[in-house]
Structure 1
Amino acid sequence: MKINLSGHHVDVTDTVKQHVEEKFAKLANHFPTLIALDIIIAKEHGEYDVEVSTNYEGTRIAAKGLDSVMYPAIASAAKKLDAALKHRKGHLKADLHAKPEVTAPEIAYEKVQEMDLR
């Protein structure tokens, strides 16, 4: 999984990159079709704002973490993105297992009787 990391009013150092890779490594294992993450770390008004967005199975999914310290903001964004991806995966799995509608034999018999088969 490719991680595109950028900073806005924040220096993105090697330790920040390493911390981001550690936090988002679990996502690569749970969602193997996930190709890339776009992460923006910004500092505005004394708070760190971490925005994470990605495309997963045809849908754009984003999460945002806010905190006065950078590392908890990254962890919060990772947790929210994980929850959003699990939610989307659940929707995809639920669509695969939709039960077909079955009519009862007596209803089917009545439907055939109502048809004009001449």
Structure 2
Amino acid sequence: MNFKLSGHHLEITQPLREYVETKLERVIRHFDQVIGVSVLLTVDNQTEKDKRQRAEINLHLKGKDIFVESHHEDLYAAIDALVDKLDRQVIKHKDKVQNHDRVALKYQATADEARL
């Protein structure tokens, strides 16, 4: 898995890098077919102080790319919200890929015979 962490108007410190990596372990635990992760942390110079910190992620999975972004006044809270959103989307994608609600052909044939 390729992992890229970058910051705009922000220096990426070692504790911040470790925090992002530990949060992303939860996503990788749910779906192990992750090819690449690109995280961008930004501090905007807006007049609004409540949504000044922004975190966005581009997750490259086998068969799909997922993009999620989050805004908050605290960067760590923005990362938490980002990982929550990403986790929901990855689980939804995993369910679509696995799709356990199909009926196997051998059971479908016996169900058709039972209706007759």
Shorter-chain TM-score: which interval? 0.7 to 0.9
Aligned to 2:6: 6
Unpaired runs of 5+ residues, structure 1, are 109-118
Report the AA paired with residue 37 of structure 1: V
| Cα deviation 1:53-98 (Å, max 9, x = unaligned) | 112121111111110110000111111111100000111111x652
Q: Aligned pair 1:35/2:39, yes or no?
A: no
TM-score, length basis structure 2: 0.79
Identity rate of aligned residues, in percent? 22
Q: Please state how far the C-alpha of 1:37 moved relative to its aligned partner.
A: 0.9
Q: Which residue of structure 2 aligns with residue 98 of structure 1?
A: 102
Are 2:72 and 1:67 equivalent residues in the alignment? yes
Residue type of the alignment partner of 2:10: V
| Structure 2: 5+ residue stretches without partners | none
Alignment check: 8 A CA contact 2:54 2:71 kept: yes
Bigger Cα Rg: 1
Two-structure CA RMSD over aligned residues (Å): 2.2
Letter in 1 for 2:28: A
2:20 is equivalent to residue 20 of structure 1: yes
Amino acid corresponding to residue 64 of structure 2 in structure 1: T
Which is bigger in relative contact order (C-alpha 8 A, separation at least 6)? 2
User: Counterpart in 2 of 1:80?
Assistant: 85
Q: TM-score under structure 1 normalisation?
A: 0.78
Q: Distance in 2 between matches of 1:59 and 1:26?
A: 19
Partner AA of 1:78 in structure 2: V
Q: Which moved more, 1:22-31 or 1:81-90?
A: 22-31
The equivalences for 1:40-51 within 5 A come to 40-44=40-44, 45=46, 46=49, 47-51=52-56
